[in-house]
Amino acid sequence: MTLAATALPGAGRLATELAPGDAYRADFSDTPWWLTLIKALIVFVYLMLSVVVVIWFERRIVGFLQQRPGPNRFGPGGIFQTLADGFKLVWKETFTPRKADRFMYNLAPIIAGSTCFIGFAVIPMAGEVSMFGHRTPLQLTDAPVAVLLVMGAASIAAYGFVLAGWSSGSTYPLLGGLRSTAQVISYEIAMGLSLVAVFLYAGSMSTSQIVAKQAGLWFLIPAIFSFLVYVICMFGETNRLPFDLAEGEGEIVGGYHTEYSGMKFGMFFLGEYINMFTVSALATTMFLGGWQVPPPLTMINDGMLNHGWWGLLWFTIKLWMFMFVFVWVRGTLPRTRYDHFMAFGWKMLIPLTLVWVLAVAFVRAAMLGHLGEASVSFAGRSFYVSLLIIIGLFLIAALVATWLVESRNEAKREAARPEHPAEVDPFAGGHPVPPMPGQSLREPTYAAHRSVGAAPAMSQTSSPDHEEDHRG
């Protein structure tokens, strides 16, 4: 039995009126191939317009947070500034480093800028809508393992960063590519584990089925810990502050795209923002009920706001909530240290997420064993849902406590490290050693070396006249 997500008039009745084992995937039986192409064009235009708006939105919000105006000249409120920047990138001169691998150098931005669109192919942006006389879900396609398609597309996009760093033939891009590889591997593991709890609740990895199963209760509530881990991994996956270590300007100039200019750089820039929308759309689908209206509004006219094109409105609002969080964090938090970032992923997120998945599996098995397979909704499961919420809050507390303990231990290690002496003997050990920043040379050393006829070392504060005296 295959039903569209809006097949029933009441959104809250969808998950309870279908028998166990029914498929909740969207119905594409009335969708000809040309209509699929039109929907693909709609998704493309939707994402491109969203990127134009979010770049302006980010610059304005960060400017407000930092008490400066941001773009305000070109267009009302500076809204056309993004278009001007894009026009500049199109006409800007491009170059290829002499030592670069030309094929890989040109292929890397194409991979980074094109694979980011793949994930949106399986994201349901609304329920069934009427288009050109056909009833079709506002979704390009669906599959039993649709979520894995999104994760796989994100993994392929990482190849663009790696190839860009390696093919440029330069040191700083190579460091950025290596950082990006380690970062993606680390945080995709935690991100994938955080979604396992949702798969256990929904009984499927189909995006439309996951949305339909949240008609009675969003998975945000029983899977609160998974949601927190996913949000943290969102920043690591998209190379955004405070986890933009693959392009740390203060450390490695610009990372993997240091040697790129013009639209080749623009493709990396586009891919980053499209990836932000993709991970936000996946979070909306997995935890916030997808395109479904928030629960209090389902009572209006028997769920009228949960049908047709209304779903696109609720989906967009939830999507932009996550985009605001991206911008807010960028304007608030500083960049983390790379070793802290990797230790946080491997020593804290992954182990605690494994414990959480095991807890969800055991509670889910107990829930089905006690209530039976016939009960599909969360009605009557308050004890088990409350138990999972308590476990999730406990793991969140454990995550925060572990981070605090690790920070305190790091502070102790920093305090225990020996400090550099204020003065240094440059000829100690028989080899001249230059002073470090903040150090000075010992004056008695000069007299000792003068007595034996050795060339004296100049202090940081010595003047040319002083040097002339030594030569005399």
pLDDT one-digit tens code per residue, 188-243? 888 888 899 889 888 888 888 898 888 878 888 888 888 988 998 888 888 787 88
Specify the DSSP element, H or E, that contains 441. strand 440-441
Cα gap 323→315, rounded to integer Å: 13
3-state helix, strand, coil in the chain (%, to 5): 65, 5, 35
Give me the count of residues in the chain: 472
Smallest CA-to-CA distance from 14 within 366, 282, 293 is with 293
Q: In whole angstroms, what separates CA 15 from the centre of its chain?
A: 31
Where in the chain are the domains? 11-293+305-409
- Position 8 scores a pLDDT of 38
Is the pLDDT at 22 greater than 70, yes or no? Answer: no
d(CA 259, CA 279): 27
The Cα angle at residue 205 between residues 200 and 206, in degrees rounded to 5: 135
More confident residue, 363 or 197: 197
* Ramachandran area for residue 380 (φ above 0: left; ψ -120 to 50: alpha; else beta): left
Instruction: Round the CA-based radius of gyration of the chain to a whole number and report it.
Output: 28
Q: Which residue has the higher pLDDT, 266 or 20?
A: 266
Q: Who wins on pLDDT, 82 or 387?
A: 82
Residue 47: its H or E element: helix 33-65
pLDDT value at 113 more than 60: yes
Average pLDDT across the chain, whole number? 76
What per-residue confidence (pLDDT) applies to 372?
A: 52
Asked if 154 and 118 count as a contact pair (C-beta separation under 8 A), the reply is no
The pLDDT tens digits of the residues spanning 286-327 come to 998 888 888 777 666 666 677 778 888 889 999 999 999 999
Q: What is the pTM of this model?
A: 0.76
Question: 23 pairs with which residues across the strands?
Answer: 2
What percentage of the chain reaches a pLDDT higher than 70? 76
Q: At what angle do helices 262-287 and 81-91 cross, to 10 degrees?
A: 140
Q: Is the pLDDT of residue 27 over 80?
A: no
More confident residue, 41 or 67: 41
Q: What percentage of the chain carries pLDDT values higher than 90?
A: 7
Q: Would the CA dihedral through 332, 335, 337, 340 be positive or negative? A: positive
Evaluate if residue 471 carries a pLDDT over 80. Answer: no
439 versus 82: which is more confidently predicted? 82
List strand residue ranges (DSSP E) for 2-107, in order.
Answer: none
Q: Burial letters for 306-322: b for 16+ Cβ neighbours within 10 Å, e otherwise?
A: bbbebbbebbbebbbeb
Query: If you average pLDDT over residues 323-352, what whole number do you get?
Result: 84
How far apart are alpha carbons 472 and 339 in whole angstroms? 52
Q: For the segment 129-158, what is each residue's pLDDT rounded down to a tens digit?
A: 888 888 888 888 888 888 888 888 888 877
Give pLDDT, residue 46.
Answer: 92
Residue 45: predicted pLDDT: 92
pLDDT tens-place string over residues 415-470: 776 666 666 666 666 666 676 666 676 654 444 444 444 444 444 444 444 444 44
Given this model, what pLDDT does residue 415 score?
A: 72
